[in-house]
């Protein structure tokens, strides 16, 4: 089974289902990414902060797949914000990954108190022009941060990776992204702590389709036009999280799932990601 690709605003595409890798260490992530690639995953998401880029790179190398068949994402966090700091940051990430380029490079957080995300984004533009990051984007940015990038820089982010699930639909973010041609990437797409997986509405829809609650939730993400990066170290769940293209949800089911939104979501939610 394969995944659909979502077009990006720079002319490239991104696989709609990816593999999240936080908080796996190098040894764990090498095993999980190897299994995921064997199952058909082609999109792997890591970050400097996760401390597992070397393990991701080892799995990519061992896969034997042509480089252009894999979509590798990494993120640079606070120490690499500010003029030119991302140059060294990405070089170090590429060395750990054993790659010449990443498919997508993200600013991990805007960190507005530092007031460096605009200069960091200008450095990202240079990295993209140099071919070290084929696409560039952001993570955990709010519409106000994106507005400032639009006013002061020349490249619109390809994606904004945000915490998003049926309990936290972030309609204002999603509407902004759609208006400006930015793809929404959902991290923690299945919610946190397992509560969403036990939600009666989800259980009812899952039973109707003969699917797991996780598959129903992920199908909701896909039908909503999001890119989702669920994470699991269990082979069976990895398989189930990828088997999403041979069933569909009705419009009524989509609306019922969206109606589970509880609102909220603060910067404190983001510290672990």
**Residues carrying an active site annotation:** 50
Q: Which of 135, 128, 71 is nearest to 99 (CA)?
A: 71
DSSP 273: -
Please name the residues in contact with 6: beta carbons below 8 A apart, sequence gap of 6 or more.
Answer: 13, 14, 15, 16, 183, 225, 227
Could you give the 3-state DSSP secondary structure of residue 59? helix
Instruction: For residue 30, give both structure tokens.
Output: 């090498």
Could you give the 3-state DSSP secondary structure of residue 251? helix
DSSP string over 100-143: S-EEEEEES---TTT--HHHHHHHHHHHHHTTSEEEEEEES--H
Instruction: For residue 246, give both structure tokens.
Output: 């041979």
How many whole angstroms separate alpha carbon 149 and alpha carbon 151?
5
Instruction: For residue 25, give both structure tokens.
Output: 């260490």
């Amino acid at each position: 089974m394969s995944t659909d690709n979502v077009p990006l605003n720079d002319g490239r595409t991104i696989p709609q289902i990816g593999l999240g890798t936080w908080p796996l260490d190098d040894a764990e992530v090498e095993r999980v990414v190897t299994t995921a690639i064997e199952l058909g995953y082609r999109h792997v998401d890591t970050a400097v902060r996760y401390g597992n880029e070397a393990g991701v790179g080892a799995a990519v190398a061992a896969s034997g797949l042509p480089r252009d068949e894999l979509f590798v994402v990494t993120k640079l966090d606070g120490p690499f914000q500010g003029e030119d700091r991302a140059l060294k940051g990405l070089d170090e990430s590429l060395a750990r990954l054993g790659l010449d380029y990443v498919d997508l490079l993200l600013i991990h957080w805007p960190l507005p108190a530092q007031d460096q995300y605009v200069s960091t984004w200008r450095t990202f533009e240079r990295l993209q022009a140099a071919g070290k990051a084929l696409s560039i984007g952001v993570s955990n940015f709010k519409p106000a941060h994106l507005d400032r990038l639009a006013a002061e820089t020349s490249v619109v982010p390809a994606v904004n990776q945000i915490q998003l699930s049926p309990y936290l639909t972030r309609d204002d973010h999603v509407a902004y992204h759609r208006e400006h041609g930015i793809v929404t990437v959902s991290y923690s797409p299945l919610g946190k702590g397992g509560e969403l997986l036990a939600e009666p509405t989800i259980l009812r829809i899952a039973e109707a389709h003969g699917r797991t609650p996780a598959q129903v939730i992920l199908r909701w993400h896909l039908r909503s036009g999001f890119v989702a990066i669920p994470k699991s170290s269990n082979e069976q769940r990895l398989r189930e999280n990828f088997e999403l293209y041979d069933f569909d949800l009705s419009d009524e089911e989509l609306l019922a799932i969206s109606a589970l939104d509880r609102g909220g979501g603060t910067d404190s939610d983001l510290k672990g990601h």
